[in-house]
Structures are given as C-alpha cells and as structure tokens.
Amino acid sequence: MSVPMRWEHCAVPEPSPEPPRLRRRASRRSRLSYLVAGGALCAVLGGLAAVGAQSAWNAVRVNNDLQLITAQPSNGPAALGSAAVERRLGFVTVTGSVSNRSGHSLSQVEAVVELLDKQNRPLQLESGLIAFDPLPAGTSSSFRVELLDNVQAVAYRVRFKKLMGASLN
C-alpha cells in the first residue's frame, strides 16, 4: 500500500458573490410624509422662536422707571430720608434710609414697599426690617426691600411701621 506524498485539498468552488441589491426609491407617499413631518417641525420651531422673541421684547420694553409716591407729610416718629429703585431680572429692589424724628429710640422698625398701578392701586407688597435695631433718636438707618416685579407697576410707595404693629409715619 502506498501513501500519498502530499495531501491534496479538494478545491471546493467558492460561491460567487451576489450582485448588490439596488435600493428601491422611496415611494411618493413616503416622500410626502417626510415633507409633512419636516414642515410641522419647522412650524413648531418657528412658533417657539416667536414666543421667545415676544418674551424678550416684553422684557426690553418694560418701563424701568418707577415713580416714588410720597405719603402726605405727617408728624410720625419715622420719615423717609431717601429712596432708590432698581428693576432687574423680574425683581424690584428698593433701597433708602429712614430717620427717627422722635425723642426716643424705635425698635423693630419695618420698611413696607408697595408697587402701584396707574390708578395708585397696590399690586405687590413686601416689607423688611431696617438695618439698625433699635434706631436711636435723631439718627438714620438704611433699608433694603426686594419684591417680585409686576409689569403693570408704574410707581412705588414706602411706609414704615412697627413689626406686627402700627404705622410710624
């Protein structure tokens, strides 16, 4: 018996590659659905852009000047020395000073700020304690009150009162 000198591999023919498949073109109906979806997306984005532009315009055209409405002169122990207002980022900040006109010290004095509309009706109200407690007779103290802005506000008023008590001016 003889042994072959080398192994011969059977040559198995490799399968021929399939021809590439051609992609079918999208039908008119599917192209139309893509166009409708794209149009709807553009409409939504345009609407959101319009809302954002309107918000920015409203923020820009808000009148930043609030007029101080002073109360009738009174003989109360506390009097407004000065006041300044700033409108910024949806808030109104009122700073100023209060004078003690009485002969004794005042304790727990609160500054009350009101935002007013065109008819001087209150829109917002906020209060804050003054810097010095007690406030010695004949001296002044600073105050700072922050409150949410209201676009209808055209003026503000500052009053002083005792904490949980009666008016001081």
Alpha helix (H) residue ranges in the chain:
28-61
* Burial class of 93 by CB neighbour count within 10 A (0 to 12, 13 to 18, 19+): middle
Q: Give dist(CA 106, CA 19) in Å, integer.
A: 98
Summarize the confidence of residues 8-22 as an average pLDDT: 64
What is the reported pTM?
Answer: 0.60
Longest dimension (CA), the chain: 138
C-alpha angle with apex 18: 15 to 24, nearest 5 degrees?
165
> What are the pLDDT digits (tens) for 66-106?
999 886 666 788 989 999 999 999 999 999 999 999 889 99
Residue 62 scores a pLDDT above 60 = no
